[in-house]
Amino acid sequence: MSTKTMTVAGIMSGTSADGIDVAVVRIAPGRQQPKVTLLAHEGFAFPAPLRRAVLAAMNAASTSTAELARLNWRLGIAYAEAVSATIEKHAVKLDLIGCHGQTLYHQPQAASYAGRRFGCTWQLGEPALIAAVAGVPVVSNFRPGDMLAGGQGAPLVSLLDYVMFADPKRGRVLQNIGGIANLTAIPAGAAADAVVAFDTGPGNMVIDWLAQELFHQKFDRNGDLAAQGTVLPNVLAAALRNPYFKLTPPRTAGREQFGHEYAAKFLTACQRQSKKPEDALATATALTAETIAQSYKTFARRGMKGSPVDYIVSGGGARNATLMAMLAQRLGPMGCELAASEEFGLPAEAKEAAAFALLAWQTWNHLPGNVPKATGAARPAILGQVTYA
């Protein structure tokens, strides 16, 4: 490879719409895989009016063209400010940036529109603003390239998961719990094309909505509210019958499946069984834990072939102690050792951002970024587009 070592920032803002994570990594070419080292990580909460605007645009049945154009620009400003603050604080000099953008709509399945059938995806956040402020090229818009190769456009973290966590002796599951939860399973000694990756289902999305609706809190800090409730078994059993959980991977989920509408119905079902609001939170937390454990059992466990498995959790959900306890209870008996991403040198919030730094480096070097087995693509694809500074 004629590639060189670069310092790359990855910018991520996920479906929780909580804010922006920036990870700065050093990426060095290796014989087979690049070597990725985390240099710095910072998180930035969205200012309240921007968060409202993002949530409104994500959940709106209709919105205006001017609103979307402004939001695209405003997000670009927020990303540019986040990356500037990070490089200033850590005194790093960047060579390249990868920006995921804010997903407003993701529809991997083909549907008819204006006389043609197709799937589509849309991430906002004007990259030209970031390039102008940071003075280095920005790679953005990663998902369409995978969809045009026949993939679902997600999950795209699989390459980083493989590069950083594959182990010759131990199976590794990388479980990210953001708004949506997704896993990458890497059997011991596996080649990159043997990984399994897919969205397990809701992560914090239903929990967050209930915390807001019932307790006027952005999320259930540490899972303290859920810890005071009791899981409602009938509601949980009914929720588990959702056809999404029966889908064979590749599969992806978003607000389209588990957003406000879903959460409101879930709450109504809880309220029919119990007047205690904490019970709804306990049940939503159990839904996340149970769908993660069932997903692993049905679609990933067989490939692990009896070797010990580290089940490594990242994303904001790793901070929810009640959720982590529920996960340990279910995954332990399946031979998995639950761990937080920190224990492997990568803070829980930094992983997805680091993934988009690596994807930017791949694209810059004309290398593919998707793992076809993970997204369901027919071929490897070079992802995204470059905006020069």
Ligand X SMILES: Nc1ncnc2c1ncn2[C@@H]1O[C@H](COP(=O)(O)OP(=O)(O)O)[C@@H](O)[C@H]1O
Q: List residues near ligand X by CB under 6 A.
A: 14-16, 18, 178-179, 204, 207-208, 219-223, 315-317, 319-320, 349, 352
For residue 66 the two structure tokens come to: 């001017």
Q: Which of residues 6-45 bind Mg ion (CB under 5 A)?
A: 14, 16, 18
| Residue 203 lies near Mg ion (rule: CB under 5 A) | no
DSSP 8-class letter at 351: H
Tokens 């009938």 correspond to 234
The residue (of 7 and 140) whose beta carbon lies closer to ligand X is: 140
Shortest distance, CB of residue 205 to ligand X, whole angstroms? Answer: 8
Query: Strand (E) positions, the chain?
Result: 6-12, 19-28, 35-45, 96-99, 102-113, 116-124, 138-140, 171-177, 180-186, 196-202, 309-314, 336-340, 385-387
The residue (of 15 and 121) whose beta carbon lies closer to ligand X is: 15
Q: Which residue is nearest to ligand X (CB)?
A: 316
Residue 93's nearest CA partner among 186, 171, 5 is 5
Provide the CB-side half-sphere exposure for 132 (13 A, CA). Answer: 7
Residue 157 host element (H or E): none
The residue (of 310 and 349) whose beta carbon lies closer to ligand X is: 349
Partner that binds at residue 315, options Mg ion, ligand X, none, CB closer than 5 to 8 Å by kind: ligand X
The residue (of 15 and 283) whose beta carbon lies closer to Mg ion is: 15
Residue 76's nearest CA partner among 116, 123, 31 is 123
Partner that binds at residue 15, options Mg ion, ligand X, none, CB closer than 5 to 8 Å by kind: ligand X
State CA 246 to chain mean position distance.
21
Shortest distance, CB of residue 13 to Mg ion, whole angstroms? Answer: 6
The residue (of 14 and 187) whose beta carbon lies closer to Mg ion is: 14
Shortest distance, CB of residue 189 to ligand X, whole angstroms? Answer: 29
Shortest distance, CB of residue 273 to Mg ion, whole angstroms? Answer: 31
For residue 149 the two structure tokens come to: 């190769």
Residues that bind Mg ion (CB under 5 A): 14, 16, 18
